[in-house]
């Protein structure tokens, strides 16, 4: 195993507090066994998300001091705009405070009731924003994406046959745009190949449908292309990104991932008419077009982060650290989703806890146990997040995959802390029979995973 040693040294440290098992048990009861309700201060290694949790560089912190907080035309906006154009190549750049606002602005402008938006797999806020417009959010990823054992290099690829079927079934006029999520978060952080993106682009152009990217983890996707796709080994990440985005018409971006910032996002696109509608709505709900819900200093940090993320040494460490966790777990016999994706390792809860039926939320039970025993916080990506009630029978329809995502924040944890995580999970796997299922006692009508409450079932 090639050890991915850190390409940085630590200048500032943030102490983390150790808690006792008793304390964590009490916090879990108070939180209704929902890890979103546990105070972050009581978590030792927090793998809830890689979003907004990055450590900024000294260069980004220095940039904050150069924030120009003018209401209109801040110099940081121009730096940010120029940076986004140089990487993504689209004509217009609209800053937003995070990714879902970019989605909301785009979909509320171009999606109408009865329409359909295909995507490899919609992330939950993307799906919710499409459905909020009364449209269908259709997932058309290759079928291998749903097989946790299929070790395919580009498991985030679009299924072009299903995409074309959908276009013919729904009708070109009811598909305002097609999206590709890079990397495919809900499918395990799996990359999409350049060949698949090119072919999707050709299909979309044939039908006159715009192609957009959900670009949150674009640099990680480009790194996988460089590593795995013939013909890209000698190209720079910036060149790969430029080619990739040239196949589309725009993108939404949560810079909280590959922008290496704690807050920020944007929308970038070519269609001037769409931009007009989006800008009008932006001013109503978010802010003036040269700050979009952010401070000038945030725009500066984002501009600098977007350049830093293209650094290959950083990406080698980043992807390597995630892979390192996956390899340790595999060596310990722990069932994980294969291959390991760009930002997270996913535990296969169905195989980790075969004695807990899906109706008793095995992935959530695994999250609870991991926190109670070791102070590690992961996130459930399974029945709690994606389970749906059948409106006619009232019964829950369970998703195919039942997983716990261990998302690794960028540049935050040392490899020793990652080793601690691996050893803890291997230990938990040895004693897995002691873990029991849960019953849900409260659920909100949409995005229920954030606020759901549970009770532990007796042994
Ligand atoms: N698209 C993808 C693929 C995402 O992963 C996220 C966020 C968003 C859009 C929305 O961006 O949070 O800035 O509004 N994903 C986070 C996660 C929350 O934990 O995976 P946002």
Phi, psi of 423 (to 5 degrees): -65, -40
* Ligand 1 binding pocket mutation candidate from 48, 54, 95, 99 (most atoms within 8 A of CB): 99
Ligand 1 atom closest to 217 (CA): 3
Q: Is 266 in the pocket of ligand 1 (CB under 6 A)?
A: no
Domains, the chain, with CATH or none: 21-50+311-456 (3.90.1150.10), 58-308 (3.40.640.10)
Dihedral (CA of 219, 224, 225, 231) sign: positive
Of 46, 47, 54, 123, the residue with max ligand 1 atoms within 8 A of its CB, to mutate for a pocket test, comes to: 123
Is the CB–ligand 1 distance for residue 126 below 6 Å?
yes
Model confidence at 419: pLDDT above 80: yes
pLDDT tens per residue across span 297-345: 999 999 999 999 999 999 999 999 999 999 999 999 999 999 999 999 9
Q: Is the pLDDT of residue 143 over 70?
A: yes
Q: Is 304 close to ligand 1, i.e. is its CB under 6 Å away?
A: no
Asked if residue 429 lies in contact with residue 349, where contact means CB atoms within 8 angstroms, the answer is no
96 lines ligand 1 (CB under 6 A): no
3-class DSSP assignment, residue 131? helix
CB-based contact 167:209 (threshold 8 Å): yes
CB 358 within 8 A of CB 383: yes
Mean pLDDT across 73-93: 98
pLDDT for residue 21: 98
DSSP 221-276: HHHHHHHHSTT-TTS-HHHHHHHHHHTSSEEEEETTTTT-SSS-EEEEES-HHHHH
Q: Is 342 in the pocket of ligand 1 (CB under 6 A)?
A: no
**Could you tell me how far CA 289 lies from the centroid of its own chain?**
25
Per-residue model confidence as pLDDT tens digits over 374-406: 999 999 999 998 888 888 888 889 988 899 999
Give CA–CA dist 220/343, Å, rounded.
8
Q: What is the 3-state secondary structure (H, E, C) of 8-35?
A: CCCCCCCCCCCCCHHHHHHHHHHCCCCH
The verdict on the CB of residue 290 being under 6 Å from ligand 1 is no
Q: Which of 21, 23, 76, 71 is nearest to 304 (CA)?
A: 76
> Which ligand 1 atom is at minimum distance from the Cα of 125?
10
47 CB within 6 A, ligand 1: no
Nearest CA to ligand 1 atom 2: 123
With CA atoms as reference, report the closest residue to 80 among 305, 369, 315, 376.
305
CA distances, 289 to each of 64, 172, 219, 376 (Å): 20, 31, 26, 40
Which pLDDT score is estimated for 259? 98
On the question of pLDDT at 84 being above 60, the answer is yes
Q: Which residue has its alpha carbon closest to ligand 1 atom 4?
A: 123
- When pLDDT is averaged across residues 71-99 and rounded to a whole number, the result is 98
Q: What percent of the chain has pLDDT over 90?
A: 93
Which residue's C-alpha comes closest to atom 12 of ligand 1? Answer: 99
* Interval between CA 381 and ligand 1 midpoint (Å): 13
Which atom from ligand 1 is nearest to the alpha carbon of 186?
Answer: 3
- Residue 126 Cα to ligand 1 middle (Å): 8
Residue-wise pLDDT tens digits, 26-82:
999 999 999 999 999 999 999 999 999 999 999 999 999 999 999 999 999 999 999
Q: Which of 98, 257, 378, 386, when mutated, tests ligand 1's pocket best, judged by the most ligand atoms within 8 Å of its CB?
A: 257
49 CB near ligand 1 (under 6 Å):
yes
Cis amide linkage into residue 211, ω under 30° from 0: no
Mean pLDDT confidence for 444-451: 87
Q: Are 179 and 217 in contact (CB under 8 A)?
A: no
d(CA 187, ligand 1 centre) in Å = 13
Angle of helix 237-246 relative to helix 194-207, nearest 10 degrees?
20
- With a 6 Å cutoff on the Cβ, whether 190 touches ligand 1 is no
Encoding tokens for residue 32?
Answer: 């209704």
Query: 409 CA to middle of ligand 1, Å?
Result: 13
Residue of the CA atom closest to atom 8 of ligand 1:
99
The candidate with the shortest Cα–Cα distance to 180, out of 233, 142, 237, 131, is 142
Q: Is 361 left (phi over 0), alpha (psi -120 to 50) or beta?
A: left
């Amino acid at each position: 195993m090639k050890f991915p040693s850190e390409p940085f040294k630590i200048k500032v440290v943030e102490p983390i507090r150790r808690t006792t098992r008793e304390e964590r048990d009490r916090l879990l009861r108070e939180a209704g066994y929902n890890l979103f309700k546990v105070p972050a201060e009581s978590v030792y290694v927090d793998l809830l998300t890689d979003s907004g949790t990055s450590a900024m560089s000294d260069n980004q912190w220095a940039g904050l001091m150069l924030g120009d907080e003018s209401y209109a035309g801040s110099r940081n906006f121009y730096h940010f705009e120029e940076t986004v154009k140089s990487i993504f190549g689209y004509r217009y750049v609209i800053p937003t405070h995070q990714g879902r606002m970019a989605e909301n602005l785009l979909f509320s402008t171009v999606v109408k009731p009865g329409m359909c938006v295909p995507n490899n797999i919609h992330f939950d806020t993307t799906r919710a924003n499409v459905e909020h417009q009364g449209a269908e959010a259709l997932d058309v990823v290759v079928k291998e994406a749903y097989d946790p054992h299929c070790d395919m290099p580009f498991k985030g690829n679009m299924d072009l046959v299903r995409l074309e079927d959908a276009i013919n079934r729904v009708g070109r006029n009811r598909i305002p745009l097609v999206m590709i999520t890079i990397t495919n978060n809900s499918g395990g952080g799996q990359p999409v190949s350049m060949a698949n993106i090119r072919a999707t682009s050709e299909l979309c152009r044939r039908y006159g449908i715009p192609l957009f990217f959900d670009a949150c983890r674009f640099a990680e996707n480009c790194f996988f292309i460089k590593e795995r796709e013939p013909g890209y080994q000698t190209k720079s990440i910036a060149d790969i990104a430029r080619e990739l985005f040239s196949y589309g018409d725009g993108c939404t971006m949560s810079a909280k991932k590959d922008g290496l910032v704690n807050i920020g996002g944007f929308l970038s696109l070519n269609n001037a008419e769409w931009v007009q509608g989006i800008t009008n709505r932006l001013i109503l709900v978010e802010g003036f077009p040269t700050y979009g819900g952010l401070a000038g200093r945030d725009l500066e940090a984002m501009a600098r982060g977007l350049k830093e993320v293209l650094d290959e040494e950083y990406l080698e460490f980043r992807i390597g650290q995630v892979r390192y966790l996956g390899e340790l777990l595999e060596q310990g016999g722990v069932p994980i989703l294969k291959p390991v994706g760009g930002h997270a390792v996913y535990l296969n809860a169905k195989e980790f806890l075969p004695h807990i039926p899906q109706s008793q939320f095995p992935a959530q039970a695994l999250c609870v146990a991991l926190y109670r025993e070791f102070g590690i916080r992961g996130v459930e990506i399974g029945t709690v997040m994606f389970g749906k009630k059948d409106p006619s029978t009232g019964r829950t329809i369970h998703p195919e995959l039942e997983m716990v995502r261990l998302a690794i924040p960028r540049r935050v944890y040392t490899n020793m802390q990652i080793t601690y995580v691996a050893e803890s999970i291997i230990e938990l796997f040895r004693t897995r029979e002691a873990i029991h299922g849960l019953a849900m006692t409260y659920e909100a009508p949409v995005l229920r995973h954030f606020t759901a409450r549970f009770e532990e079932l007796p042994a």
